[in-house]
Structure 1
């Protein structure tokens, strides 16, 4: 039974049942203190379970950046439209790859590392594809129903102004370390954690973190930062602007490296759960009402108790 959805009559019936159970236990010879201690222990145990049980956390990263690195996972979503004015440079091909027809696409192979960088000096977007797996190919180009395989290192250069969108599925590194020779960094962004309540499909915001210019963000499924998380997202490019990146995924922690500090972990907290989880709020409210009723019962009993007379 979900206490958060009880109406008034249901709540009254619940308290009546509890009172009858307590009266039955007392009639069976249970000491009053033992009954109260048992009730408090059960209540605290239930609340602790709801507070500390594992939940599904969805991380949403929204940012504007000049650089993004994505390690592509195997999925059909990693198919990007390439305009005719784009230049594809395959460093292991004998000649430049021509783009024919009105629509051309590049199918990025799994295991390929795609580094997207905006060169504001030359007003262009450069996507560098590199594949160090056994296949050795970053994918293939589809143009006018012809497929051309690519080598293991390819540059795609977009020089003319045009809005472009690149969907992806893979792990990502957002931003870059600020150091000498680095001219592309994260501009701004945020990380939002959406958590699912324990006993239903209701979701609530469990944490929100603002990103500063120059931050570097990675997402992991462990607190040792060894397992990268596969995300779904997209990149929107508009000429003269930083890339707008949006990515979602179920994970455990987002690691934020910040210049001038040791960085921090963007993760959910128990206090956010205590303040926002509907189940926790319902349980604590119910406990408060129960203790208030008990206090009133004790007070009324002390007021209306008949004093004993000495014989």
Structure 2
């Protein structure tokens, strides 16, 4: 921008009195080019920071996943032959054995935690404070079993894997403390971003996660009074899902699934839980043990590399800047030639005058 200001200033100076003879043509072209370049720079910067949809993808191997249910229709799980615990007042609670083809249907706003170590038991913990029900279990014969505000289901995966789909507000991993026995084991956060004025997308970055990390996705649409915050607070809420470290925003709504493989099968079982989740977000936060954590987001400069429209505009801008420089140099050269011609004319006139006086 300093370059353009300098060129524009010099061109205007010529037009106002620096060189009256060239102001009509050179001055007009130069000023027009500089103004065009300035306008194009403004357009490029505006489009570079134009809001776009960003899809974040979590591909994670973990021992624990926590989320709050946003849509019950997408959170119906097969809990065949599981053990259901609902009475936690007993020292040794006796579980209820669930029938084959039992389906767990979760209510909106329920706090869910899925946990598994290695290829052992799968634990599903459900909580909804304030006396609200966490959901119900439907059986093959049509009978329904309503659940209270607390429930625990244990599943032993013998010869088949299980997939638990969900739509909700997600947190993967736990803050590392003395009493924590489950953690995120590894994975990636990937970002794809929408191209300008199209539905096509490009890769805008990827971040690797390490053991002990805790990751969440966020949107900056306010933490109080939004539909998301109302769902999060329905069952007593969870501060970790409502506000980020800066005290703004809510957790982004994600669609995904949790997969757990059986201990015995045709292939070697993968340890713990595999999580895939996608959703629109503005940034991710990664809490890392021993540090203050950091944010992961799409950088605007990636748009200049991957977006063809911005690439063309930058190329045109470069050509215009080159034309401004050529115009400026041509004007300087023309001035020098004119000045040289005038000097020769004056010298020739003085020589003739001198000769006439001598005669």
CA offsets, 1:41-72, max 9 Å, x none? 11111111111121111111110000000111
Q: Residue 137 of structure 2 aligns with which residue? A: 141
**SS at the partner of 1:231?**
strand
What's 2:235 paired with? none
Structure 1 residue runs without a partner (length 5+): 1-25
* Conserved? CA contact 1:92–1:151, under 8 Å: no
Higher strand share: 1
Q: Which residue of 2 aligns with 1:87?
A: 83
**Which one has the bigger helix percentage?**
2
* CA-to-aligned-CA distance 1:167-224 (integer Å, 9 cap, x gap): 0000011000111121110000111111112322121111211111100011111264
- Distance in 2 of aligned mates of 1:131 and 1:233: 22
Q: Deviation above 6 Å: which 4+ runs of structure 1? A: 26-30, 92-95, 296-305
Q: C-alpha separation between the residues in 2 aligned to 1:226 and 1:302?
A: 56
Deviates more, 1:163-172 or 1:71-80: 71-80
Give the TM-score of the pair, scaled to structure 2. Answer: 0.70
Decide whether the 8 Å contact of 1:68 with 1:174 is kept in 2.
yes
Q: How does 1:1-311 map to 2 (within 5 A)?
A: 31-84=28-81, 86-91=82-87, 97-100=96-99, 102-120=100-118, 123-133=120-130, 136-144=132-140, 145-161=142-158, 162-222=160-220, 224-239=247-262, 241-292=271-322
Q: Counterpart in 2 of 1:3?
A: none
Residue 92 of structure 1: how far off its partner (Å): 7.3
What's the TM-score, normalizing by structure 1?
A: 0.81
Unaligned runs of 5+ in 2: 1-22, 221-245, 263-268, 346-359
Q: Which residue of 2 aligns with 1:5?
A: none
Structure-2 separation of matches of 1:74 and 1:133: 20
Residue 37 of structure 1: SS of its match in structure 2? helix
